[in-house]
Amino acid sequence: MTTGTRNLLLPVILIVIVDVLAFTMILPLLPFYAEHFGATPLEVGILTSTFALASLIAGPILGRWSDRFGRRPVLMLSQAGTLIGLLIAAWAPSLAWVFVGRIVAGLTAGNLAVAQATIADVTEPAKRSRNFGLIGAAFGLGFLIGPAISAGLVHFNLVAPLLGAAALTVVSLICTTLMIPSKTRVDGATDEPAPTRKQVFAIPGLKLLLAQFFGYTLSFSTFTAGLALFCERRYTWNGRPFHVSEVAWVLAAVGLWGLVVQGGLIRPLLKRLGERRLIAIGFACTALGFALLAPTSLLGLGGLGLFAVAGLISGLGTGVVRPSLMGLISQTAPPNAQGVVIGFTQSLQSASMVVGGLLSGALIHADLLGGYALITAALAAGAGLLALLGST
């Protein structure tokens, strides 16, 4: 690792941790916060999709701006928008204003994509999967701590986690201003303009990798969008249905396992298996883990024990798939297209959140809990087949 990479990697990881803390503090809260205003499961899904649709529109624009104007100003814009959106949602007098807050946050939701582009700027291609794994570990650390903070704050009231997330966003904005250079240098960059979307799709091998990434995010987005309401309807703790605190602790456990996988296991696995084989195996684990959720709702078997096993298996899969895929995508894209391509992955993720939010909301609204689990598994399995095609 070069000095430039080391000097920039540490502040970027810090910023990602703070941003993910803010995000994961509201993740277990938002479905119940919307229900507080009278939202149905379908409307909760639409709320998730509204945020994602706004992000879908803005993602490519933010990625292109980061290539043109530098990573720091776009990161600052994204964090400022997140802050405003959180404050609108916290002070919302009705469900409509919660939607407004999520739209504002969605239109500026580019933090993670720009952070990954920043790492790509100063990392040689062969080491990008490893460094994206460090970003994933930072994400896992945020998932571990953020929900735990939310579980504590929600005892005051439902608004407290939103205000706590807003405060962390201010911290992230300050860190970006002080620690990130005004413009990072892309390895091997030229003065050539960034390619158009049509030119991006023409890059050999990239289209299939992006299709795998979309399959992964569609499966994972459907799972996460419906998880809180699935747990509320399926599991109990101390004689009452799961609520914000219980779902928050589930997400904290997911974060801990993700930290183990992405911070410790992924490097030796990448060295032994390589990205392509590891991605295929990861998709298989993801599909199996999600499928194991179905018996707990279809047959009433297993309860929390089977739920924990499903989480361990699916967490291993999702923990290795994302950084490995992002590493391959970044290696495939030319230096002057890092922001555009990674911004496009943000758009694919947003599109999957649009579909996943509506799909999970509709299935849970119809009380098809087993169907919710099996569809997430089928989506992961389909992406795994694409990965097998790409490795032959």
Q: The domain that contains 128 carries what CATH number? A: 1.20.1250.20
Q: Is residue 226 part of a domain?
A: yes
Q: Is the pTM of this model over 0.85?
A: no
Q: Is residue 189 part of a domain?
A: no
pLDDT in tens, the chain (392 residues): 444 445 567 777 777 777 777 778 888 888 888 888 888 888 888 888 888 888 778 777 777 777 777 778 888 888 888 889 999 999 999 999 999 998 888 888 766 677 767 776 766 666 666 666 667 667 767 777 888 888 888 888 888 989 988 998 888 888 888 877 765 554 444 445 556 666 666 677 788 888 889 999 999 989 888 888 888 888 888 778 888 888 888 877 877 787 777 667 777 777 787 778 888 888 999 999 899 888 766 555 556 778 888 888 888 888 888 878 877 887 776 666 666 676 677 778 878 888 888 898 889 888 888 889 899 999 999 988 888 876 65
> Residue 68 CB: number of other CB atoms within 10 A?
11
* Residue-range definition of the domain harbouring residue 75: 3-180+202-391
**Burial readout 241-254 (b: 16 or more C-beta within 10 A, e: otherwise):** ebbbbbbbbbbbbb
Q: Is residue 192 part of a domain?
A: no
Q: Is residue 344 part of a domain?
A: yes
Q: Is residue 195 part of a domain?
A: no
SS (H, E, C) 60-125: HHHHHHHHHHCHHHHHHHHHHHHHHHHHHHHCCCCHHHHHHHHHHHHHCCCHHHHHHHHHHHHCCH
Q: Is residue 151 part of a domain?
A: yes
Q: Is residue 237 part of a domain?
A: yes
Domain total of the chain: 1
Q: Is residue 281 part of a domain?
A: yes
